[in-house]
């Protein structure tokens, strides 16, 4: 009667090249120099050794991106639209020329909408998030319908609110 020997879950072929070594089993180190320098490690500690190595590069970042909560774009009320237009007109006059911006900078805090740019997220092109930015108004372009705060250009369509942080000079 022949006994079927396996390697893990797979049966070992009869002409297996390393059969003699596999039959020897694991080496036993009890009380020798090797066992003193390298004590047996439990499975939990062994798993910790390999934790820093990511099998899938960027996978952790992708999982974190899925935690971002996106929302529908908010509609502006008539009163909020009127107040926003009034503030934008003031800022357009305050940033009319480059010298005014340098001599009398106007600092604002703006809230604006950014659509979801993650192509692997279900909110892609459907929802987005609102972000606050605080900075100096560089220009307001009524034709292109954009405002530039520091290095960020925001369209009027995505703008939700602006509050002046520096005192108004008129």
Arithmetic mean of pLDDT over the chain:
83
Structure confidence at residue 20 (pLDDT): 85
Q: Is 78 exposed, middle or buried (0-12, 13-18, 19+ CB in 10 A)?
A: exposed
Structure confidence at residue 7 (pLDDT): 61
Per-residue model confidence as pLDDT tens digits over 74-109: 999 999 999 999 999 988 888 887 777 778 888 999
Per-residue model confidence as pLDDT tens digits over 7-64: 667 788 888 888 888 788 777 788 888 888 888 888 778 777 776 766 777 777 777 7
Contacts of 104 (CB under 8 A, 6+ apart): 94, 169
Distances (CA, A) of 88 to 41, 84, 126, 161: 67, 6, 27, 10
pTM to 2 decimals?
0.59
In angstroms, rounded to a whole number, what is the distance separating the alpha carbons of residues 135 and 151?
9
Quote the tokens at residue 20: 């003699």
pLDDT at 156 over 50: yes
In angstroms, rounded to a whole number, what is the distance separating the alpha carbons of residues 162 and 112?
9
In angstroms, rounded to a whole number, what is the distance separating the alpha carbons of residues 95 and 88?
10
- 170 vs 89, more confident: 89
The least confident of 31-35, 111-115, 144-148 is 31-35
CB 105 within 8 A of CB 160: no
CA nearest to 128, candidates 66, 76, 71: 71
């Amino acid at each position: 009667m022949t006994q079927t020997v396996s390697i893990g879950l797979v049966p070992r072929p009869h002409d297996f090249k390393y059969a003699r070594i596999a039959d020897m089993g694991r080496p036993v180190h009890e009380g020798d120099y090797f066992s003193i320098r390298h004590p047996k490690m439990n499975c939990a500690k062994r798993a910790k050794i390999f934790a820093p190595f990511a099998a899938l590069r960027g996978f952790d970042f992708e999982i974190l991106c899925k935690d971002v909560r996106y929302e529908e774009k908010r509609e502006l009320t008539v009163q909020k639209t009127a107040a926003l237009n009034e503030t934008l007109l003031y800022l357009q006059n305050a940033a009319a020329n480059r010298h005014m911006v340098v001599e009398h900078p106007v600092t604002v805090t703006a809230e604006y909408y950014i659509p979801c740019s993650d192509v692997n997220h279900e909110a892609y092109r459907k929802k987005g998030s609102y972000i606050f930015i605080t900075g100096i108004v560089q220009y307001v372009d009524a034709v292109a319908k954009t405002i530039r705060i520091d290095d960020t250009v925001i369209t009027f369509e995505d703008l939700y609110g602006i509050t002046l942080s520096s005192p108004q000079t008129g």
